[in-house]
A and B are shown apart, each in its own frame.
Chain A
Amino acid sequence: MIAAGLDIGSTTSKAVLFDGERILARAVIPNAILPSESARDVLSLACTQAGLDEETIKAVAVTGYGRRLAGFGDLIITEIRASALGARFLGSPHGPIRTVLDLGGQDTKVIALADDGQVQDFAMNDKCAAGTGRFLEMLARKLDCSMAEFIEAALASTAAIHMNATCAVFAESEVVSLLARNVPKTDIAAAAHQAIADRIAAMVRRIGAREVLAFVGGGALNRALLATLEENLGIRLWVPESPQTVVALGAALAAFQPLSLGSPRS
């Protein structure tokens, strides 16, 4: 059987095609106006990439913020479960995954897994921009950089300065005042990464992180953030291949599991 896992996020939608053993295709697209459109588009893109007809997809599992708005889907699960399934499947070379950190554009999730891979506990930050990818985006824009430049600048920093603001809005004004004091952009970028790493690390510690910690989501592509987090938490973080699509992979995996709990409206 070939199953498709769709992750309809707030800014991007992802799709993964899975046949039970191998990943056949991965696709990421920026969102259209309607989640139903994004879902269709990303699914057809993934099918094109794999060279498959849409009819060969026997099961579609949908997750993410727009999971109920996609308009179709044989199974609906939360990103928490999908994240856990995906990370656990990919498996790290360093040992079994016991914690998953999913850093998205608009929310951050920390998931603690039991020894058998089941979700044991989770924490979400989906109300405050600080601690999500949004924070770094806003500050990059303030420094007039692209995200890639921002990350490079942070890696190149030599001095460690401290940002006071925890709120993304106040951080923007603090960046302005730091620039006015002629603090180099590299140091500001590094300080921004420190600030967000502190917030994320606090969340991780509250759940109780155990090795190996899988770092997934769009934010995992940020090497500067990865380094800062590893330093802050003191444990090894492992970033799988294509961290953005891990959740979609998890959804596809869920489609293979025996009868799982869906909500009455699924």
Chain B
Amino acid sequence: MTRPESPYRLPPRWTDRPALLRKQQAVIAEQQRRLQELPARPPTIGFFEQRLISAPTAPKRAPRIGLLCQFAPPELVWAAGGEAVRFDCGNSAAVMAGEELVTGDICPLVKATLGQVASPAALPNSCDAWIVPASCDAKKKLAEWLADYKPVFPLPLPPTLDSARYSTWVVSEFERLADFIASITHRRIRRQALQAALALGNQRAALIRRLHEARLAQPGAMSLQDAFLLVQSSLFSPEPIETWIPEAEMTIRHAEAFRASRHRLRPRLVLTGAPIVWPNFKPIQVLEECGADVVSDTLCTGLQTCADPARTDESSMNALLRALAARSVFGSLCPCFTDATNRFNRVLDLVERTHARGVVHYALRLCQPFDLETGRLEQLLKARGIPLLTLRTDYSLEDTEQLRVRVEAFLETLV
């Protein structure tokens, strides 16, 4: 590793209180119970639910590297013979654990992740190292915190999404990242292995795309919550993606074959905004329970960004890394960059393509980039006559009723 070591490494702080752990389990159990009440669940959905829930206790067959965000490509870890797992946390009880370490107006995702990190038995601590993209301010500083616990690679990102200018730089950062990963897994990343890893990742992307199209045609085929379950079980579980692919293929085929027996009268909506991470499915739940069909989303943990392939017409190592950079970094819809063109484009395009009646913008409380984009998104959609509802909330379930009344009022305006 060529990173300079920080002179300020502090002893890691742990919080292992059984009460908090029970609370976290309760949150997950509650979410599972709510999922049971969904109509028309695919028969094979149990596999994905199980995969997601058992992630912390999944057997470790190879060096495991945790990723915090869509920017870090898991293909690099796969190519090095390692297990890749996302460890962003969506558990509201974990936020409380995190608050024992950091106080202040910090985004709940960071607090929850920190809360999990400070818990020795939780998923992040089964990893040998972590990769933390320096996307937003909170994540940048989180990397510093996490380095007290395990080897961390803070992945720098370009300030603007100017691929002409920064593509080569991002590729050089990916090369450094590849060296870091190789030092953890003790296996160099070879060109053929990386090519095979990209092919696997593209298989998953193709499946997610098919799922997206199937739900567009038949929203009743699968609830968006189950669709998110399917997608996130491939990201947030360290088990090999090869076991996920055939099950997903089967489930998606089932969804593609679905034919609704009655007309679908629910208003079609596009969901955009902050990541919705298991078990915090609250926004989607509220939307679906109030009678909307969320036919598409632009979420990085959802059906859109995961659907982009990493492609290249060349076969050199440099070209493969460039392909990963193009998909993971430059094609991103994240608001942490200096312009929101990608996301605004995607929202407008989806509204047109999916014949949506309106857009729901889910802004995570205390997330500055999303807060600052909200106003501009509102103006943009208003100018085009597209109805927009902004839901500003955090992980806790206490404001579910308030969200409900807003969603219902919004849906009433759509008829």
Quick check: do A and B touch in the complex, using CB within 8 A?
yes
A79→B405 contact, CB < 8 A: yes
Q: How far is the CB of A227 from chain B (nearest CB, A)?
A: 30
Judged by a CB distance under 8 angstroms, whether B409 is at the interface is: yes
* A81 touching B406, Cβ below 8 Å: no
Q: Roughly how many angstroms separate A118 CA and B413 CA in the complex, as a whole number?
A: 7
Cβ contact within 8 Å between A78 and B402 = no
Interface residues of B in 257-309 (CB under 8 A from A): 267, 289-291
| Mask of A109-141 contacts with B, CB within 8 angstroms, 1/0 | 000000000111010101100000000000000
Query: Cβ of B290: which chain A residues have Cβ within 8 Å of it?
Result: 263
Q: Which bucket holds chain B's interface residue count?
A: 10 to 19
Residue from the list A65, A77, A119 in contact with B401, Cβ < 8 A:
A65
> B401 and A81: CB pair below 8 A?
no
| Given A124-B402, A126-B402, A127-B402: A260 touches B409 (CB 8 Å cut-off) | no
Q: Mark A228-242, 1 if CB is under 8 A from B, else 0.
A: 000000000000000
Nearest Cβ on chain B to A75's Cβ, whole angstroms? 11
Separation of A264 and B293 alpha carbons in the complex (Å): 12
Is there an interface contact between A261 and B291, defined as CB atoms closer than 8 Å? Answer: yes
Tell me the smallest distance from the CB of B181 to a CB of chain A, in Å: 44
Identify the closest chain A residue to B267 (Cβ).
A261
Set A119, A124, A262: member contacting B413, Cβ < 8 A: A119
Q: Is the CB of A81 within 8 A of B412?
A: yes
By a CB distance below 8 angstroms, the chain A residues around B173 are none
A80 near B: Cβ within 8 Å? yes
Chain B residue at minimal CB-CB distance from A265: B289
Query: B399 near A: Cβ within 8 Å?
Result: yes
- Other-chain contact of B405, A78, A118, A119 (Cβ < 8 Å): A78
* A257 CB to nearest chain B CB (Å): 10
CB interface residues, B 228-260, toward A, < 8 Å: none
Among A78, A119, A120, A124, residue most surrounded by chain B Cβ atoms (within 10 Å): A78
Contacts of A78 in B (CB 8 A): 405, 408-409, 412
Q: How far is the CA of A124 from the CA of B409 in the complex (A)?
A: 11
Flag whether B350 is at the interface (Cβ < 8 A).
no
- Whether B411 contacts A261 by the Cβ 8 Å rule is yes
Contact with B along A244-266 (1 / 0, CB 8 A): 00000000000000001111100
Bound Cα distance A33, B406 (Å): 25
CA–CA, A70 to B279, complex, Å? Answer: 31
CB contacts (< 8 Å) of B10 on chain A: these are none
**Residues in chain A near residue B408, CB distance under 8 A:** 77-78, 263
Given contacts A65-B401, A78-B405, A127-B402, contact A264 B412 (CB under 8 A): no
Alpha-carbon distance between A14 and B382 when the two chains are bound, in angstroms? 35
A122 to B391, CA, bound (A): 12
Beta-carbon contact of A122 and B409 below 8 Å: yes
Quick check: A77 and B412 within 8 Å, CB to CB?
A: yes
A113 shortest CB reach to chain B, Å: 10
Minimal beta-carbon separation of B5 from chain A (angstroms): 45
Which residue of A has the minimal Cβ distance to B390? Answer: A123
Chain A: minimal CB distance from B409 (Å): 4
With a CB–CB cut-off of 8 A, which chain A residues contact B413? Answer: 81, 118-120
- Alpha-carbon distance A127/B32, docked complex (angstroms): 27
CB-defined contacts of B383 to chain A, threshold 8 Å: none
Closest to B415 in A: A261
A120 vs B385: C-alpha distance when bound (angstroms): 11
Considering the chains assembled together, what is the distance between the CA atoms of A261 and B414 in angstroms?
A: 9
**B267, B409, B414, B415 — most chain A CB neighbours (10 Å):** B409
Q: Which residues 376-415 of B have a CB within 8 angstroms of A?
A: 399, 401-402, 405-406, 408-409, 411-415
Q: Is the Cβ of B399 less than 8 Å from the Cβ of A264? A: no
Query: Are A261 and B405 neighbours in the complex by a CB distance under 8 Å?
Result: no
- Judge whether A80 and B409 touch: CB under 8 Å: yes
- Chain B residues with CB under 8 Å of A124's CB are 402, 405-406
Give the CA-CA distance A79 to B291 in the complex, in Å: 17
State A189–B401 Cα separation when bound (angstroms). 33
Q: A124-B402, A126-B402 are known contacts. Are A119 and B409 too (CB-CB below 8 A)?
A: yes
Docked complex Cα distance between A18 and B289 (Å): 31
Question: How many whole Å from A32's CB to the nearest CB in chain B?
Answer: 19
> Shortest Cβ distance from B31 into chain A, in angstroms?
20
Instruction: Report yes or no: B291 in contact with A260, Cβ–Cβ below 8 A.
Output: no
Residues of B within 8 A of A260 (CB): 412, 415
Q: How far is the CB of A82 from chain B (nearest CB, A)?
A: 10
> Hey, which chain A residues are within 8 Å of B405, CB to CB?
65, 78-80, 124, 126
Q: Which residues of B contact A261 (CB under 8 A)?
A: 267, 291, 411-412, 414-415
Distance in Å from the Cβ of A108 to the closest Cβ of chain B?
13
- Complex CA–CA separation, A263 to B413 (angstroms): 13
What distance in Å separates the Cβ of A115 from its nearest Cβ neighbour in chain B?
14
A78 to B290, CA, bound (A): 11
Which chain B positions have C-beta within 8 A of A118? 413
Q: Which residues of A contact B402 (CB under 8 A)?
A: 124, 126-127
B406 proximity list for chain A (CB < 8 A): 124
Q: Shortest distance in angstroms between B265's beta carbon and chain A's nearest beta carbon?
A: 9
| Smallest beta-carbon distance A51→chain B, Å | 33
Pick the contact of A127: B267, B289, B399, B414 (CB < 8 A).
B399
Q: Mark B residues whose CB is within 8 Å of A.
A: 267, 289-291, 399, 401-402, 405-406, 408-409, 411-415
Instruction: Beyond A81-B413, A126-B402, list 10 extra A-B contacts (CB 8 Å).
Output: A65-B401, A80-B405, A80-B409, A118-B413, A119-B409, A261-B411, A261-B414, A261-B415, A263-B289, A263-B290
> Which residues of chain A have a CB within 8 Å of any CB of chain B?
65, 77-81, 118-120, 122, 124, 126-127, 260-264
Q: Can you list 19 A-B pairs with a CB-CB distance of less than 8 A?
A: A65-B401, A65-B405, A77-B412, A78-B409, A79-B405, A79-B409, A118-B413, A119-B409, A119-B412, A122-B409, A124-B406, A127-B399, A127-B402, A261-B291, A261-B411, A261-B412, A261-B414, A263-B289, A263-B408
Q: Which 9 A-B pairs have the closest CB atoms?
A: A80-B409, A78-B409, A263-B291, A261-B415, A81-B412, A78-B408, A119-B413, A126-B402, A78-B405
